[in-house]
Structure 1
C-alpha cells in the first residue's frame, strides 16, 4: 500500500496562504487613476486652448499653473466630500444594525441564517455558522455579510482626497513640462502627443493593476482625451480669431 505524501505547512501560520486581490486597493487606486487622468487631460486641454487663442508663453504658463493648483484642490475637495458622504452612510448603517441587534437579536439571527442559506449552505450548517459568528462578534458579522462592509473596504475620505490631489498634480506636470521645454512653435501638437501617450500609459497601468484588458482601456482614454483637446483647441482658435 502506498503511503500518502503530505505537504508540510509553513512554520508561521501567517505564511500558509496569502492572496492579494485588486479589491484591496480599489479605494485609493480609483482616486489616484482618476486624479492623474484628469490632471493630464484638463491641464493639457486648458493649455492647448490658450495656445490656439494666440496667448504668449508667459500667459500659457500662468494658465497651466493656475489650472494645476485649482484642479488639485477641486479634486481633493470633491473626493473628500464624496467619500465622507459614503463614510457617513456606512456609520449610519452600522448604528442601525447595532440598534436592531439590541431590539431583535432573534430576528437578526434568522436574517443572517437566510443570507448563508442563499449562498448555498444547508439550513443546519447555516444556523451553526450564524450562531458562531454572532457569538464572536454579531455586529461585525452583519456588517460584513449583510452590508458588505469588510475590513479595509470602508470609506477613507482623507486618503482619497490626498491621492486625488497628488495624482492630479503629477498628471498636470506632463503638459506643463512640455509647454516649458518645447519650442513655442508647434507646442500645442507636442503637448497633445505627450499627453495622449501618458494617458494611454495610465490606462494600461490601471487596467493591469485591476486585471482588466489593457488595450481597451488605453484606446478608451486616448479617444476621449483627443476629443477633449480637439474641442478646446477649436474653441481657443475661435475666440483667438474673434479677439484678434
Structure 2
C-alpha cells in the first residue's frame, strides 16, 4: 500500500510539473504572439523536452537507488556467509530495539534466519524487500506519462480556443487543474488540502504572470 501511495504521489507531482512548466512556456509565448503555429510549436517542444527530462532524471535516480540496494543486499549475503553467528546476534538486537524482549527476539531471529536469513536481514536491517526493488524503467515511464498528461492541458487550452479567448481559457484551466493536483497531493500525503492548494495555485499564477510579462516585453521590443 505504501509503495502504491508513493507512486500515486509521484504521478500527481509529475502531472503538476507538466502543467506549470508548459503553461509558463505557452503563456510566455502568448505574451509575444497569438500565432497558433508558434504556440503549438512552443508547447510541443516544452512537452517533449520536459517529459524526456523527467523520464531520464527518474531513470538515473532510481537506477542509482537500485544499485545501492543491490550492493547492500550483496554485502549482507557475504556477511551471512562469513559470520552467521554475528549476523544472528545483530538481528536479535534489531528486534529487541523494536520492543521485543531478549528471549522473544532471539527466538524470532532464529526462526527468521532458518526460514530465509537474507530476506530477514534485508527487511529488518536494511528496510529493503529483495523481491520488490524499484524498477527504473517503470519509474521513467510513469514520470514521462504523468508529465505528458499534465502538459497536454495547457497546450490544448492555448491552441484550441479562438485567439481572443486563448489566454483566459488557459489561465482558468491551469489554475483549476493546479487546485485539483494540490488537493490530490495533500490528501495522498495525509495533509490538509487548503494550504497545499493555495501554494500550488499561487505558484502557477506567479509563473504564468512572470513568463507572460517577459513575453510581452520581448514582443513589444520586436525580439
Aligned with 2:30 (options 38, 51, 58): 51
Q: Does 1:90 align with 2:73?
A: no
| Residue in 2 that maps onto 1:202 | 181
| Residue in 2 that maps onto 1:17 | none
- Give how far 1:153 is off: 5.5
Aligned residues: 223
Aligned with 2:192 (options 199, 213, 216): 213
Between structure 1 and structure 2, the one with the greater Rg is 1
Aligned with 2:9 (options 27, 30, 43): 30
TM-score scaled by length of structure 1: 0.85
Q: Give the ranges of 4+ consecutive aligned residues of structure 1 lying more than 6 Å apart after TM superposition.
A: none
| Residue in 1 that maps onto 2:45 | 66
Q: Rate the CA distance shift 1:30–1:157 in 2: closer, same or farther, 3 A.
A: farther
- Give how far 1:106 is off: 1.2
8 Å contact from structure 1 (residues 24, 152) kept in 2: no
Name the CA distance, whole Å, in 2 between partners of 1:187 and 1:55. Answer: 9
Name the CA distance, whole Å, in 2 between partners of 1:31 and 1:152. Answer: 21
Aligned with 1:170 (options 141, 144, 149): 149
- Give how far 1:76 is off: 1.0
1:150-161 to structure 2, matched below 5 A, reads 150=129, 154-161=133-140
- Give how far 1:189 is off: 2.9
Name the CA distance, whole Å, in 1 between partners of 2:15 and 2:35. Answer: 27
- Give how far 1:55 is off: 4.9
Name the CA distance, whole Å, in 1 between partners of 2:11 and 2:132. Answer: 16
Runs (5+) with no aligned partner, structure 1: 1-20
CA RMSD of aligned residues (A): 1.7
Q: Which has the higher helix share?
A: 2
Q: Rate the CA distance shift 1:94–1:192 in 2: closer, same or farther, 3 A.
A: same
